[in-house]
Amino acid sequence: MENNRYKDIPHKTIERLSQYRRALHICADKGKTNIFSHEIASLLHITAVQVRRDLMLIGYSGSLRKGYNINDLVRLIGDLIDSPEGQKVAIFGMGNLGRAIINYFQGKREKLTITAGFDINPEKTNRVIDGIYCYPVEKAVDVIHKEGIKIGILTVPGDQADETVNIMVDAGIKGILNYTPTPVEVPDDVYLEEYNMISSIEKVAFYVKENKS
């Protein structure tokens, strides 16, 4: 019945596929045409079994003697994780973090483009920052509707997280990546991914401390 045959692929596999693709692009640029599972594994510092298992899940078969064809694999990963018509992304909060993401990301992915930025600071709004036009948040609903943006990245200060998420949801955003230290809530039909940078630092600090003893 369901035609979304990929629903049961583990979240972690999806993340790794994105990383495989990046590594494969680099290999292809070097003129490589084929690659073994253990080569991919060593690029990402994971195990070859995990690579093969991930590729099994997406139904790609390599050649027994030559490994995987890089171009085919890149294409297949694209078929799986990209949307053929492309997807637009908006950044909420054009501070350092928002701009860092723009610089890391923009232009690297054919099917995923950062299309708009939003901020409340009048010094930032109504002009282009790092190649992205920055609107005042009041325009968010309009712009997001008109552009058909479905993905939003939240990089505002923690105390503005909740109100900004409400705006995003109202405007029709269906996937949010929250980099704010404040956990937020969204309706069931909105996919939410939270990443708390402060917790990550504290976690590293904890394991450093523990190893020492």
User: Please, which of residues 17-56 interact with DNA by CB under 7 A?
Assistant: 36-38, 46-50, 52-53, 55-56
Q: Applying CB under 8 A, which part among 31-39, 53-61, 91-99, 138-146 lies near a copy of itself?
A: 91-99
Residue closest to 153 by CA, chosen among 93, 110, 82: 93
Q: Scanning residues 44 to 73, which ones bind a copy of itself (CB under 8 A)?
A: 44-45
> Which residue among 4, 29, 30, 122 contacts a copy of itself (CB under 8 A)?
4
If contact means CB under 5 to 8 A according to the sort of partner, which of a copy of itself, DNA, none does residue 210 touch? a copy of itself
41: exposed, middle or buried (Cβ count in 10 Å: 0-12, 13-18, 19+): middle
Which region among 11-19, 127-135, 146-154, 181-189 touches DNA (by CB under 7 A)?
11-19
Amino acid at 45: H
The tokens for 99 are 């701009």
Residue placing its CB nearer to DNA in the complex, 37 or 125: 37
Query: Quick check: 64 binds DNA (CB under 7 A)?
Result: yes
Please tell me whether residue 6 binds DNA under the rule CB under 7 A: no
Nearest-approach distance from CB 64 to DNA, in angstroms: 4
Contact between 166 and a copy of itself per CB under 8 A: no
Q: CB of residue 187 vs a copy of itself: minimum separation in angstroms?
A: 12
Listed ranges 49-57, 65-73, 132-140, 181-189: which one lies at the site for a copy of itself (CB under 8 A): 181-189
Distance between CA atoms of residues 83 and 74, nearest Å: 14
To DNA, the closest distance from the beta carbon of 16 in angstroms equals: 7
Residues engaged in binding DNA (CB under 7 A): 10-13, 36-38, 46-50, 52-53, 55-56, 60-65, 67-68
